[in-house]
């Protein structure tokens, strides 16, 4: 390739561009959407106990009110059903209409439904739960669109040397969102407890849930709209990715203009058309034999590993309060009033997030482009399996009061290796190994498989514990993680440091050295 053509190549310029401010801007703008995603998905687990006390208290009962099993599962899991559909719908739409055109719509849906979730109608328990589930379904629908679009946009902007770290940076906002959900719940419950104190349920059951507690869960849910709304303007200003514009829309002029505007590079449209000539014209669709032969196994691998991972990951996150109660780490509910119980649950989740979840994401950002996706996913699944077995085998030992802290430490390590492992890599790999024209769709399918696993975890975990006990449930979780390890070993490819187009077979590797100065 001639030097001027090489300097004008959009694909090559993107692959070797130095890390610059716009890369970080893209991480922040995309990441704040993901912050909202995780805040909204995980915050519900903190307020379900409070909802039970407010709306399902039986007068004169020896224990505080709690959500019936079916309603609890619906409140916790209905957003995942919406997310499942949103990931497939917006994933496909992102390839048909472009990433930018649907990117703002997802954020708008998330903002509106976050607010409406906290404005669920009336005081009648059935009416409140129905409207809460309705709005959380559509909240999940908007969240679903953010998964494939955020991952695809970041992968298509990043250079090949640090692409993994930037995509991981977007995904790491999930950890910050989980941390924020706990922190906001702590703050709101603390303020209301000081302002409206009450006695523990064992001392005065009727008065242990003050009327003002109904505002607490509503405020906590509505706060999720703030970060999404704050970044809406910047998300609308982001141009379409140059890869999509050049390779799918076939508009080299616009691709060169957009890229020159946001990145410190100078690309001429005439030279940029060279990319279109290099990219294969064999544009097979998703439901074709060629896709099945070239990418079918990889799509199965990314989908099934995400499915298996999310069964364990969301079971652990959504029901950790129940796990900690089972082993006696959290005090019995009747020894606290309603707002105090929320505070204690939020404190436990915040501590886990701060000490294990967030450090796991940070470790992934640091090592993803050094160790590679394949190794990190293997390490993660392996250690999750080991620690689950370490909890299950001597389970009675961990239930003894003197050993409960040891249980919490091992339990926290499963979170660390989930996030420094498959929870991050299952998000990154599908954004790299599929063709540009199908990248968002394939990522959406993979992510939707994960949410199918999350639904299995959210609807089935509590029932499984009741049916077979916590110890056997932990064995089952270890088996699920072990199966994820096996699939990773034999199917998932390494994508570290390789051009997206070379990974997907859209172009052949060029023999010229990377000499672009940007």
The answer to whether the CB of 428 falls within 8 A of the CB of 85 is no
Q: Residue 7 falls within a domain, yes or no?
A: no
pLDDT for residue 278: 58
**Is pLDDT larger for residue 270 or for residue 135?**
135
pLDDT band, very low/low/confident/very high, at 36 (cuts 50, 70, 90):
confident
Dihedral angle computed from the Cα positions of residues 417, 419, 423 and 426, in that order, rounded to the nearest 10 degrees: -90
DSSP-derived letter for residue 403 is: G
Is the per-residue pLDDT at 518 higher than 50? no
**Is 418 among the domain residues?**
yes
Q: What is the CA 60 to chain-centroid distance, rounded?
A: 41
Instruction: Please provide the DSSP assignment of 332-354 as one string.
Output: PGGGS-HHHHHHHHHHHHHHHII
Region 320-332: mean pLDDT is 71
pLDDT in tens, 44-93: 989 999 999 999 999 888 899 999 988 988 898 899 899 999 999 999 99
Contact 134, 126 (CB under 8 A): no
Distance in Å from the first CA to the final CA of the chain: 18
pLDDT at 122: 75
Q: In which band, very low, low, confident or very high, does the pLDDT at 3 lie, cut at 50, 70 and 90?
A: very low
Q: Domain of residue 139: give its range.
A: 17-277+286-504
Least confident among 77-91, 115-129, 275-289: 275-289
pLDDT digits (tens, 9 = 90+) for 167-221: 999 999 988 999 999 999 999 999 999 999 999 999 988 899 999 999 999 999 9
Please, which pLDDT band fits residue 267 given cuts at 50, 70 and 90?
A: low
Among 62-76, 250-264, 437-451, which range has the highest average pLDDT? 437-451
Whether 361 is covered by a domain: the verdict is yes
pLDDT number for residue 512: 41
The CATH number linked to 318 is: 1.20.1250.20
Residue 6 confidence (pLDDT): 40
Long-range contacts of 312-315 (CB under 8 A, 24+ apart): 312/384, 312/388, 312/418, 312/457, 312/477, 312/480, 312/481, 313/418, 313/423, 313/454, 313/457, 314/80, 314/453, 314/454, 314/457, 314/458, 315/457, 315/458, 315/461, 315/477
Selection from 214, 40, 180 nearest residue 111 by Cα: 40
**Residue 390 pLDDT > 70:** yes
Within a domain: residue 300? yes
* Number of domains comprising the chain: 1
pLDDT at 364: 96
Tokens representing 293 are: 């032969």
Q: What is the pLDDT of residue 487?
A: 97
Give the pLDDT confidence score for residue 7 in this predicted structure. Answer: 43
Taking 80 as the threshold, does the pLDDT of residue 270 lie above it?
A: no
Flag whether 245 is in a domain.
yes
Quick check: is 358 in a domain?
A: yes
Q: pLDDT at position 5, please?
A: 39
Lowest mean pLDDT among 130-134, 215-219, 514-518: 514-518
Q: Is residue 127 part of a domain?
A: yes
DSSP 8-state secondary structure symbol assigned to residue 206: T
Please write the tens of the pLDDT for every residue from 38-50: 898 889 989 999 9
Q: What is the pLDDT of residue 513?
A: 41
With both helix axes pointing from N to C terminus, report the angle between 358-371 and 404-419 in degrees, rounded to the nearest 10. 40
Task: Determine the average pLDDT of the residues in 481-487.
Answer: 97
pTM score? 0.88
Burial of 297 (0-12, 13-18, 19+ CB in 10 A): middle
**For residue 304, pLDDT beyond 50:** yes
């Amino acid at each position: 390739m001639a030097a001027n053509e090489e300097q004008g190549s959009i694909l090559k310029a993107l692959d070797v561009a130095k890390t610059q401010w716009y890369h970080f801007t893209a991480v922040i703008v995309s990441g704040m959407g993901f912050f909202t995603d995780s805040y909204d998905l995980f915050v519900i687990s903190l307020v379900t106990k409070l909802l039970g006390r407010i709306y399902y208290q039986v007068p004169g009962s020896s224990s505080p009110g709690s959500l019936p099993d079916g309603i609890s599962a619906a409140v916790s899991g209905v957003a995942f059903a919406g997310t499942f559909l949103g990931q497939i719908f917006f994933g496909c739409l992102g390839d048909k209409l472009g990433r930018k055109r649907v990117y703002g719509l997802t954020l708008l849906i998330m903002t509106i439904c976050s607010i409406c979730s906290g404005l669920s109608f009336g005081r009648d328990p059935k009416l409140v739960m129905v409207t809460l589930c309705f709005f959380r379904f559509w909240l999940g629908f908007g969240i679903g669109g953010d998964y494939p679009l955020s991952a695809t946009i970041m992968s298509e902007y990043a250079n090949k040397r640090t692409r993994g770290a930037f995509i991981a940076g977007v995904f790491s906002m999930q950890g910050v969102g989980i941390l924020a959900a706990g922190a906001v719940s702590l703050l709101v419950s603390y303020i209301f407890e000081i302002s409206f104190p009450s006695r523990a349920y064992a001392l005065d059951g009727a008065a242990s849930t003050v009327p003002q507690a109904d505002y607490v869960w509503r405020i906590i849910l509505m706060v999720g709209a703030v970060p999404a709304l704050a970044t809406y303007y910047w998300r609308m200003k982001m141009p379409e990715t140059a890869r999509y514009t050049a390779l799918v829309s076939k508009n080299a002029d616009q691709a060169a203009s957009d890229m020159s505007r946001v990145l410190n590079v100078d690309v001429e449209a005439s030279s940029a058309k060279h990319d279109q000539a290099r990219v294969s014209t064999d544009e097979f669709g998703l439901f074709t034999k060629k896709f099945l032969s070239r990418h079918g196994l990889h799509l199965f691998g990314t989908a099934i590993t995400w499915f298996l991972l999310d069964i364990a990951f969301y079971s652990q996150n959504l029901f950790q309060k129940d796990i900690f109660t089972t082993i006696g780490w959290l005090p019995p509910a009747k020894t606290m009033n309603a707002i105090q119980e929320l505070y204690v649950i939020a404190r436990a989740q915040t501590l886990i997030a701060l000490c294990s979840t967030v450090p796991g994401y940070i470790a992934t950002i640091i090592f993803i482009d050094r160790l590679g996706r394949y190794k990190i996913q293997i390490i993660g699944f392996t250690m999750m399996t080991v620690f689950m077995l370490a909890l299950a085998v001597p389970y009675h030992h961990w239930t003894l009061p003197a050993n409960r802290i040891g249980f919490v430490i091992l339990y926290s390590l499963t979170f660390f290796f989930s996030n420094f492992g498959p929870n991050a890599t299952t998000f990154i790999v599908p954004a790299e190994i599929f063709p540009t024209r199908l990248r968002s769709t394939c990522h959406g399918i993979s992510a939707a498989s994960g949410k199918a696993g999350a639904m299995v975890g959210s609807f089935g975990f509590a029932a499984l514990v009741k049916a077979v006990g916590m110890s056997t449930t932990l064995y089952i979780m270890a088996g699920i993680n072990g199966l994820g390890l096996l699939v990773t070993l034999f199917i998932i490819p390494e994508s570290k440091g390789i051009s997206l187009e070379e990974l997907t077979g859209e172009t052949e590797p060029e023999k010229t050295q990377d000499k672009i100065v940007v």
